[in-house]
Amino acid sequence: MKKLLLLLLIGGMISCDPVLTEYDTSIDFSQYKTFCWLEGCAFTFTGPAYLDDSVVQSLVKESIISTLQKKGIRYNDTNPDLLVDFHITIENEKAIYYHGVQDDPYYYRTTFLQPEEVNLTKGTLLIHIVDRQRSEVIWQSYAAGYLQDPPDLSDKNIQRGIARVLKDFPPSKK
């Protein structure tokens, strides 16, 4: 029960984690109509070994393409306005939390708390968008949160993560 409560608390932290976005405010983003990948318009992947899977990579690629196309920015590998780069990092962390003896009805009042070590998996998704003509990053966004172990790499979760990070792209004109 206590482990379930801890997982629910961690799950709550994931949904509260903000997406952090930075961009060049001097740029009119409405001028951009096309994009492709940063590495010579070839989709490349770097990240943990278990993400080095053609199905997962295809899901990430298609999710980025479909999210940007919904925003009116088409994929074009011949003469793109923008270049897209992304990074996925996954790291393991340990957390120690303290709880009382389960048989003690007043365990929350005792000073003799029992430590328990919990392994957590933290993931970060970072997307850079580069103006091809200027060769400068003009927009970047990332989200970080705790994941299931092993992470659920379903199509739905990948799409949700990509959509969350690209939610504020392109930025609205102020």
CATH number at residue 27: 3.30.160.670
Q: Which two tokens stand for residue 11?
A: 């799950």
Phi first, then psi, for residue 11 (nearest 5°) are -60, -35
| 93 belongs to a structural domain | yes
**pLDDT the model gives residue 173:** 73
Radius of gyration of the chain (CA): 21
Q: How confident is the model at residue 99 (pLDDT cuts 50, 70, 90)?
A: low
Q: Is the pLDDT of residue 44 over 90?
A: no
- For residue 39, being part of any structural domain is answered with yes
Q: Is residue 171 part of a domain?
A: no
- DSSP state at residue 5: H
As for how many domains the chain has, the answer is 1
Using the CB atoms, write b or e for 125-148: b if 16+ within 10 Å.
bbbbbbbbeeeebbbbbbbbbbbe
Share of the chain above pLDDT 70, in %: 76
Cis previous bond, 150, omega within 30: yes
**Domain presence at residue 172:** no
Provide the mean pLDDT of the chain. Answer: 80
pLDDT of amino acid 162 = 92
Confirm whether 174 is domain-assigned. no
pLDDT tier at 152 (50, 70, 90 boundaries)? Answer: confident
Task: State which amino acid sits at residue 66.
Answer: S
The average pLDDT across 141-166 equals 85
**For range 155-166, the mean pLDDT:** 90
From residue 121, how far is each of 11, 14, 15, 28 by CA, in Å?
12, 11, 15, 38
Average pLDDT for residues 144-148, to the nearest whole number? 82
**Angle CA(23)–CA(27)–CA(31) in degrees, nearest 5?**
115
Query: Which burial class, exposed, middle or buried, applies to 91 when counting CB atoms under 10 A from its CB (0-12, 13-18, 19+)?
Result: exposed
Check whether 119 has a pLDDT greater than 60.
yes
Residue 170 falls inside a structural domain: no
Domain that holds residue 131: 2-165
Question: Are 63 and 160 spatial neighbours (Cβ–Cβ below 8 Å)?
Answer: no
CA–CA distance, 128 with 69 (Å, rounded to integer)? 17
Distance CA 145, CA 90 (A): 10
